[in-house]
Structure 1
């Protein structure tokens, strides 16, 4: 932070299962860690990834409500919307538990944007199972997501399961899921048009004097005549939203409102957090 870092991302395979030790020797959860980081002067943004629904604690939900620095973007993989497939995947949570968790987090942070991971074509997946996944996606509404075809890994229980899904069926399902997720992402980005969002500028763009930054929702934001603002968080008027990015412009009075640029400013930095 003293070198100008404005944002950090806590990394872990199940980062919300973090079980560290605080300065007083007591157990420190991810929520405690985020609260401690929020006390660091100049550290304006905190993110974490990747989370598991089973490890999402009440204090972490409260942190999303109480910590201004904790960004309103959450990657929460579910993999499937079918209870039967979730059991076969050994996910140890059901679709309703996932939906209920989403409701509780959104109650704490109404502007939260969500992303997720999905696997299509898991052994034994039926048309009904896949429809359950599409239904869950429609219910949640994602700002972005990642979706993949199932591929067997030697040594895993799934690799020897019966009833593999034919490749052409799995690919057809993946295309249908990706079309739905893309529509949701486009709609979310388009809805930002007309808003003013704080953007952390990270790097220069392709065009002269253009800069690229990140919105609180992790969207890439392109702004002309802004390359002198790299390392700063600036209010940006969003002009339009595309599938993978936003286009913004600087308000007229931006220059007068800017604090002095920190020496050797660095836009973001990832910090690894080892889960328990």
Structure 2
């Protein structure tokens, strides 16, 4: 008897010493968050991470109070705001048996993942993808309306601010191209003119690589374009710049501070740069954004 007790105690000590995890007293059902904890959407990714973990706690408290035999387990993966990494994480966790994902956040990441999700019947819920190019009957659900809604709203905001001559500069991905086109079409319909737009390609001449990190060349080009419009007799009050970007708006605006003329026209953004802490807190770009009254749009349900 003493020997048996000793063995039982020994096994218990062994579990504690060796760090062997104990099996939970309930079933765990896993949901994986594909979030941009690094990269040009990291501010939003961190917010979504803590929101998801708070939701996990609330749901599990609810399940416990109901006496349910299972709990929710949220696993957060960093997509680095890159389509390839988002797809890699999706495929890995599907291989582990997971069929429910929230995120990715950017339309470019969703575009990369949706084919695999559709083929394998994986439920993917993106909290922020808005590209009109992804409007399909598929396995991806999105919280926000697509940019054929935001585009006209943003165009109307710009037009009602007194702008009649608009320059659009956007990141060259699924989301940036789609929103730029939606703004262009709506602004023209209102009676405005979009300058430096390639009608054949259907895109801005100031479109840039999504991986771009420094913008002195683009800032200089933007300065030249504004001066060109002024040379045509267009007043500064009627010139607007709409930059459709993510967190690269910070170095973009930082480089634009080199040209005083860019501080004398109206600036606009989109949901990609709205409420961005990294911009507000930046020593150079922050004051620039405040001086030009950088206005952004954001979907607000219920309004």
Give the structure with the larger helix fraction: 2
Q: RCO (CA 8 Å, sep 6+): is it higher in 1 or 2?
A: 1
Higher-Rg member (1/2): 2
